[in-house]
């Protein structure tokens, strides 16, 4: 099997309206298409979509998945996120490759936001980045 790229990331959410508002209004992702049970954002060639959970009581979130976005100026983005009272899982930190922070969406999904200055080295430890040190 030979993958060319990640085509889509789909998050199952407990409250569509609240989650759409978070990704659109707070993170600034442009909506590509939207219906009652599906909202699709388009981020540089990858579809990022939200879909409501059928059974909210069974929805579990946590460190089982992390969505990552790259930004140009992480410090100003962090200030904006804090002014919007976004919860941080890991505060902004200098890393060998640049700067990095992890926030939580309304359902507790972890979102990595990074300003990349150099390529991560071989043996790069992602678990250390998300706080499982």
Is 22:105 a contact under the CB 8 Å cutoff? yes
Q: In the chain, what are the domain boundaries? A: 1-54, 62-120
**1-54 shares its CATH topology with 62-120:** no
User: Does residue 119 surpass a pLDDT of 70?
Assistant: no
CATH topology of domain 62-120: 3.30.720
Of 3.10.180.10, 1.10.3720.10, 1.25.40.20, 2.60.40.10, which CATH number belongs to 1-54?
3.10.180.10
Q: How far apart are CA 11 and CA 81, in angstroms?
A: 20
Using CA atoms, how far apart are residues 122 and 10, in angstroms rounded to an integer?
A: 29
**65 phi-psi bin (left φ>0, alpha ψ -120 to 50, beta other):** beta
- Could you report the per-residue pLDDT of 6-42, keeping only the tens digit for each? 677 888 898 999 999 999 999 999 999 998 889 999 7
pTM score, two decimals?
0.70
């Amino acid at each position: 099997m030979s993958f060319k790229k990640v085509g889509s990331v789909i998050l199952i959410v407990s409250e569509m309206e609240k989650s759409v508002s978070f990704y659109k209004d707070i993170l600034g992702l442009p909506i590509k298409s939207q219906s009652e049970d599906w909202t699709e954002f388009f981020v540089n060639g990858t579809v990022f979509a939200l879909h409501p959970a059928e059974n909210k009581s069974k929805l579990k979130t946590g460190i089982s998945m992390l969505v990552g976005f790259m930004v140009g100026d992480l410090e100003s983005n962090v200030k904006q996120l804090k002014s919007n009272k976004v919860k941080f899982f890991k505060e902004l930190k200098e890393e060998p490759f640049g700067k990095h922070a992890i926030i939580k969406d309304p359902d507790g999904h972890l979102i990595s936001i990074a300003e990349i200055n150099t390529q991560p080295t071989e043996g790069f430890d992602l678990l250390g980045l998300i706080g499982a040190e």
